[in-house]
């Protein structure tokens, strides 16, 4: 009986040691998640300052926009992107996965600000606009 108990304990210990790499990966992933949660955004979503546009026409311009995500500074999403979307027109952004389609929307909604360049709505830089108002227009 003692031999059987020792054998079973040894098997359990040897099998649990195979999970050690996964446990280490889980700790690293959890630390990464908590650092993202604790990170302070450069854009304050509760900020009530800024302008509004009385009669929004909806012309959007991205002029010479460059952008990298803060957590992936080595990967350029855009370099010198220029795009004009005329008022009343429907535009489709197409491209392979990771080419920046959703990033354009995230920049328009000011979840991020571009590293360089300008984004305007009806000729007004979106950084000057009231954030809550801007997001309500979309």
Q: Report, as ranges of residue numbers, the positions in the chain whose pLDDT lies below 50.
A: none
Going through the chain in order, the beta strands assigned E by DSSP cover 60-67, 78-85, 116-121, 124-125
> Contact 63/120 with Cβ under 8 angstroms?
yes
| pLDDT score for 19 | 66
Residue 101 — left, alpha, or beta (φ > 0 → left; ψ -120 to 50 → alpha)? Answer: alpha
| pLDDT score for 26 | 79
| pLDDT score for 16 | 66
| pLDDT score for 99 | 86
136: nearest Cα among 108, 104, 117, 95: 108
């Amino acid at each position: 009986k003692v031999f059987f108990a020792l054998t079973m304990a040894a098997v359990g210990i040897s099998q649990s040691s195979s999970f050690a790499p996964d446990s280490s990966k889980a700790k690293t992933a959890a630390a990464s998640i908590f650092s993202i949660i604790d990170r302070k955004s450069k854009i304050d979503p509760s900020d009530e300052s800024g302008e509004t546009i009385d009669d929004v026409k909806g012309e959007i311009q991205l002029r010479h926009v460059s952008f990298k995500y803060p957590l992936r500074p080595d990967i350029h999403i855009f370099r010198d992107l220029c795009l004009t979307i005329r008022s009343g027109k429907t535009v489709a952004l197409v491209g392979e996965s990771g080419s920046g389609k959703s990033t354009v929307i995230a920049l328009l909604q000011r979840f991020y600000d571009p590293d360089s360049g300008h984004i305007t709505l009806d000729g007004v830089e979106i950084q000057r606009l009231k954030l809550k108002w801007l997001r309500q227009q979309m």
